[in-house]
Structure 1
Amino acid sequence: PTIASCDCGNSTTEAVTLGCKYDSLAAAWLPEHCRDDELTAEFERSGPGPDGQWTYWADTAHTQEISVEEIAKMADNQEELRFHMSGHWHVLHCIFYWRKEYRARFNGKMVEPRSDNEKHIKHCGKIFLDPGYGTVAGVALNT
């Protein structure tokens, strides 16, 4: 059987043309068959801010806040642009991905290859043991 791809092209413009959307849980542009929009919406309401919002920063010192929309555009300059988040964000990202893996058995969604592997599980294990570890990420178009 042919395995569907979670790729969204080479630019955010192409991603939109292909029907992809930015998924803040994945920190990636994903097509519909690779997104669990209900789970991502829950994640977006699980932060410490008003209405469960998360805070993101452009800098390591966490002094320059940036929006999810600004983060989504970072995919056009993947090699250079990174965003920063709290350790709490990273722990919940891992927990929500655990749920995404489980839910994929029943909802027909595909978990993107970037996260559907033992390497990501080991990475999350490090996050659970040291929540301050790895609180910086880039944005992917092809996962």
Structure 2
Amino acid sequence: MSKVPDGESEKDSENDSGFIVKQEPIAAKPDRRPRFLIALLLLSIGVGIGLLIASIMREPGDSQAIASGQDSHQHSASISVACQPSYESTPHPKMVHDCGSDIASAKAADCVFDMLSHTWVPKPCHDSETDAEFREWIFNPNRTGGAFPYFLSSTLSANTHIDGIDALSAIPGDTWIWSHGEEHVGHCIFVVRRIHRALEGKFRWSDDVANFDHTSHCAHEMLESILEKAPLRRFEGATVTLKVKFDKCTH
């Protein structure tokens, strides 16, 4: 039996046949945790740099300051300027257009007479389309009261008839004007058309159009006409009163 040299007793061993078996030392498994932590750290750094670059690219003021090599004070100033509100997007202050309280002030304010509402209205808030529609209807000679049925008396007599729009628009606001009930219902029907056009943004609201009390009154009058005045063309005995008004609006 051969002697095992010193220093190799932990490496070699003798088997059952008496031969010395050479055993290679078993290498210890490397610890991979440090490498994993390093990789994770590098990944985190990379993501952080990417986010920083993305944020810089989203802020033109910041990227320009960095590219030009400005100091930290200049860089802060560029951020402050970038965060200021844009005055181009600030809405312009609204203007009030007022036709006053008499014909002279209405004409001085460049208001126009709206036949549908019997009102002097500021031009920026005048719905000329429904005004023209109502004028065409009110001048129709086949209507119950005839063409342009406006009078200065409840008798609706010919000698008190108002001769045309110019004469009607010149009547002071404290004077009562008389007409047939048919005119009143027709007025309310065209007002509904006007309100719908306003909702579509076809023209700007005026105080008269936005008056809910008037809308409610018109709805009531139309219902009453259907229930009590059938057929609808029987308005000979019905009369209504109105006055010339002076409107205003804001835009």
Structure 2 length-normalised TM = 0.49
Contact conserved, 2:124 with 2:204, CA < 8 A, in 1?
A: yes
Partner of 1:78 in structure 2? 173
Question: Pick from 116, 123, 129: which aligns with 2:223?
Answer: 129
Q: How far is the alpha carbon of 1:34 from its aligned partner?
A: 1.9
Question: Pick from 148, 155, 178: which aligns with 1:61?
Answer: 155
Q: How do 1:96-135 and structure 2 match up within 5 A? A: 96-131=190-225, 135=240
Deviation digits for residues 37-85 of structure 1 (CA, Å, limit 9, x no counterpart): 12111111113633984221111110121032222112xx323x01112
CA distance in 2, matches of 1:113, 1:134: 26
CA distance in 2, matches of 1:4, 1:95: 30
Letter of the 1:15 partner, please give it.
A
Q: How far is the alpha carbon of 1:127 from its aligned partner?
A: 1.3
Contact conserved, 1:18 with 1:31, CA < 8 A, in 2?
A: yes
Aligned identity (percent) is 25
Q: Which is worse superposed, 125-134 or 15-24?
A: 125-134
Partner of 1:88 in structure 2? 182
Deviation digits for residues 66-109 of structure 1 (CA, Å, limit 9, x no counterpart): 032222112xx323x01112211111111111111111133442
1:36 aligned onto 2:127: yes
TM-aligned CA distance change 1:15 to 1:125, over 3 Å: same
Q: Which is worse superposed, 83-92 or 107-116?
A: 107-116
Partner of 1:138 in structure 2? 243
Q: How far is the alpha carbon of 1:116 from its aligned partner?
A: 1.6
CA distance in 1, matches of 2:95, 2:221: 29
Letter of the 2:168 partner, please give it.
I
Larger RCO (CA under 8 A, 6+ residues apart): 1
Partner of 1:27 in structure 2? 118
Q: Which is worse superposed, 116-125 or 51-60?
A: 51-60
Q: How far is the alpha carbon of 1:126 from its aligned partner?
A: 2.4
TM-aligned CA distance change 1:128 to 1:9, over 3 Å: same
Q: What is the RMSD of the two structures over their aligned residues, measured on CA atoms?
A: 2.6
Ranges in structure 2 where 5+ consecutive residues have no aligned partner: 1-90, 226-234
Greater than 6 Å deviation, 4+ residue runs: none
Q: How far is the alpha carbon of 1:138 from its aligned partner?
A: 0.6
Ranges in structure 1 where 5+ consecutive residues have no aligned partner: none
TM-aligned CA distance change 1:130 to 1:60, over 3 Å: farther
Q: Secondary structure of 1:62's partner? A: coil
Structure 1 length-normalised TM = 0.81
Q: Which is worse superposed, 50-59 or 100-109?
A: 50-59
